Structure 1
Amino acid sequence: MPLIRPIKDLRNTSEISEMCHKKREPIFITKNGYGDLVVMSMETYESQLAIVGVYKKLAEAEAQISEGVTLLDGEDVFKKLRKKHANK
């Protein structure tokens, strides 16, 4: 369940910070009863960015498949990577 707090609660920054780290999810801040801000810990932010990055890469891969781009064989890719890193 999302955490929703009025903007006046931002006066207590330590409490907001503690909630962000404890719940590991964004806190939605309202102003005059309407959504205004989202506050989250750096860890949560970085996690969200990573998830967005994965979805972006999946969308790119799906677009390539629909365009008929030739797929790489996974085993061949891993063999080349192992060989490349074994020589270092």
Structure 2
Amino acid sequence: MKTATIPPVRVDPAFREEMEQSLQGSETLAALVEVSVRNEIERRKTQAEFVRRGMAAIQETVARNNGIPAAEMIAELKQMLAAARQRQQA
């Protein structure tokens, strides 16, 4: 399979200088850009999966009608926080 190129991106000269200064060892600017793009794509996939699972959980809770009212959950979390703070001070 042939390789393809990433479209060139115009940046401020100061930013390019920062990028070049951040290179490690024999790393090239192209390698830094490729790794950065790959990492961002993976982060976006992970974020999308997180949102998908959250939406599915919400739909399941609504369908089963077994959710906890927000005010009740917030009160419980406040109690947990107060207990944790008390343990930390002891």
Structure whose residues are more often strand by fraction: 1
Evaluate the alpha carbon distance shift between residue 65 and residue 8 of structure 1 in structure 2; reply closer, same or farther with a 3 A threshold: closer
Letter in 2 for 1:41: R
**Which of residues 77, 83, 86 in structure 2 aligns to 1:81?**
77
4+ residue segments displaced more than 4 Å: none
Contact persistence 1:17–1:41 (CA under 8 A): no
Whole-angstrom distance in 1 between the partners of 2:45 and 2:51: 10
Q: Does 1:65 align with 2:80?
A: no
The alpha-carbon distance between structure 1 residues 8 and 49, as it changes in their structure 2 partners (threshold 3 A), is closer
Partner of 1:28: none
TM-score scaled by structure 1? 0.51
Distance in 2 between residues matched to 1:18 and 1:57, nearest whole Å: 31
List runs of 5+ in structure 1 lacking aligned partners.
1-5, 22-39
How many correspondences in the alignment? 62
Give the distance between the partners of 2:40 and 2:50, measured in 1 at CA: 15
**1:55 and 1:42 mapped to 2: Cα distance?**
20
Whether 1:18 and 2:33 are equivalent positions in the alignment is: yes
Partner residue of 1:53 out of 38, 50, 53: 50
More divergent stretch after superposition (71-80 vs 41-50): 41-50
Listed as ranges, the gaps of 5+ residues in structure 2 are 6-27, 85-90
Instruction: Report the AA paired with residue 77 of structure 2.
Output: L
